[in-house]
Amino acid sequence: MNRAFALCLLFVPLAAIASGGADAAHHATLLLWIAVILIAAKLGSLVERVKQPAVLGELLVGILLGNLGLIGIDVAAELPSEPIIAFLAELGVVVLLFQIGLESNVQQMLAVGARATAVAVVGVAVPFVLGTMIVGPWLLPGLDAKAYLFIGATLTATSVGITGRVFRDLGCLQSPEARIVLGAAVIDDVLGLVILAVVSAIVTTGSLDPTGLAWIIAKAILFLTGAIVLGQLAAPWFSRGFARINTGIGMKLTVALVTGLVFAWLASLMDLAPIVGAFAAGLMLDDVIFRDYDRPQLEADIDRALAGADADTRTRVGAAVQAHRHRHLEELIAPIGHFLVPFFFVVTGMHVKLDLLADPHALAIAVALAVAAIAGKIVAGLVAGPVNRWLVGWGMVPRGEVGLIFAATGMGLGVVTASTFSVIVIMVVVTTLVTPPILAWLIRRQAP
């Protein structure tokens, strides 16, 4: 009987069907939570009234939702660790960096390549030296020397999601400052890999394996150059291939999204952050690659309506339509971004537990550490060349989750203690929250 049943079962997840009630209820609850997160994010955009970028509002409503437990409402406490919500947040930042990549291209990024590299190298070296040799031993005396190595490493990481979003919220993604920060953040991710490998090797084996290190660097460079060079060759071919099946807008959107997702996966295969891959895919793709696909229906309808018009009108309306055509891909991805990106920032905010701030000693040390973290990146901004160097420096300030992964690795190796870890966590929160208002202020100040 049992065997016949196993043989006969046409649908796999019998357990899922049998427990359909529980699963369905969980899914329905998630639908509500998705709605709550989306609407909370939009309520957060009230901060635009006080000239702050919307992303700050999303972080703040996240902090509010995540700390309702402090006033006895713990309904949302488990939410940021709910696997589906956590994945939507990750997918959100991947889509964000893909969108940011779409608004630029490889040539524009290469044009700022040297300056971005300089900013990245200084922005890693200065905070590392500061953390390892000066502020670490001074603020947290008596720790093992290896702990200071990890504190220094934590100070080097740049998390590009916050800055990219601020530049985007304020319409500055096309500025040279934004490009330098984005380029530097990508290089930072590679340098971060190297530092993490070196520091971990020193702590665990006491020595460095040069082959392993070379391989880490080689993989990262292989991905960045290989994906972009081969990608630029393959993308038009891939795009034309799928246009033979169907030239609809759904196909165009799918081919673009799939490219972003595959690049994100490839990046993580090379130990880089998935967002680096999504950004590279966005840089590579543009509307020219998709010229075989259908035009938006509205364009065709307008063309028809213009048939009898004078040449002058046709030229002017044609120019207005043309100005939008090269943004069509961005406009297609935009709704998916509106849907997914807020998850990343609201969930990031929800991870912040305010009760930690109640410990004045830890808070003081963390703020001092944050000042060092900020100073190190502002020094990096100074080598950015003839641009607004403050903007570049502050753009590199947010540490985000990258710093936490470093700190958690140190804790896993038994080098970073729990109390040091919590200090690092506050430092990350401080750098994340002070950056949006300061960037907004710097951008407004330079606008005419």
Interactions with a second copy, residue window 253-292 (CB under 8 A): 253-255, 257-258, 261-262, 264-265, 268-269, 274
If phi > 0 it is left, if psi is from -120 to 50 it is alpha, else beta; for residue 205 that is alpha
User: Is 235 a residue that touches a second copy (CB under 8 A)?
Assistant: no
Q: Token pair 């963390």 is at which residue?
A: 366
- Start-to-end CA distance of the chain, whole Å, equals 80
The residues, any chain, with a CB within 8 Å of residue 262's CB and separated by 6 or more, are 281
Alpha carbons 399 and 96: distance in angstroms, whole number? 17
Q: x/- binding map, residues 96-115, to a second copy, per CB under 8 A? A: --------------------
Q: Is 406:196 a contact under the CB 8 Å cutoff?
A: yes
Task: Please say which residue, 83 or 206, places its beta carbon nearer to a second copy.
Answer: 83
Q: How far is the CB of 110 from a second copy (least distance, A)?
A: 26
Stretch that binds a second copy, among 203-211, 213-221, 321-329, 384-392 (CB under 8 A): 321-329
Identify which of 104, 255, 129 has the alpha carbon closest to the alpha carbon of residue 183: 104
- Interface residue with a second copy, options 113, 232, 359, 367 (CB under 8 A): 359
Identify the residue among 206, 304, 311, 360 touching a second copy (CB under 8 A). 304
Q: Which range binds a second copy by CB under 8 A, 132-140, 153-161, 283-291, 425-433?
A: 425-433
Q: At closest approach, how far in Å is the CB of 100 from a second copy?
A: 16
Q: How many residues bind a second copy (CB under 8 A)?
A: 114
Q: Which stretch binds a second copy (CB under 8 A): 33-41, 160-168, 183-191, 390-398?
A: 33-41
Taking the least distance from each CB to a second copy, the nearer of 294 and 387 is 294
Among 9, 22, 230, 364, binds a second copy (CB under 8 A): 9
Task: Decide: 373 and 427 in contact? Cβ < 8 Å.
Answer: yes
28 near a second copy, judged by CB under 8 A: yes
* 326 lies in the site for a second copy, by CB under 8 A: no
In the complex, the smallest distance separating the C-beta of residue 415 from a second copy, rounded to whole angstroms, is 13
Of residues 249, 261, 275, the one with CA closest to residue 329 = 249
Separation of alpha carbons 43 and 63, rounded Å: 13
Dump the DSSP string for 79-116. Answer: GGGSHHHHHHHHHHHHHHHHHHHHTS-HHHHHHTHHHH
Q: Are 228 and 62 a contacting pair, CB within 8 Å? A: no
Tell me if 143 contacts a second copy by CB under 8 A: no
240 binds a second copy (CB under 8 A): no
Q: Quick one: 216 or 391, whose CB is closer to a second copy?
A: 216
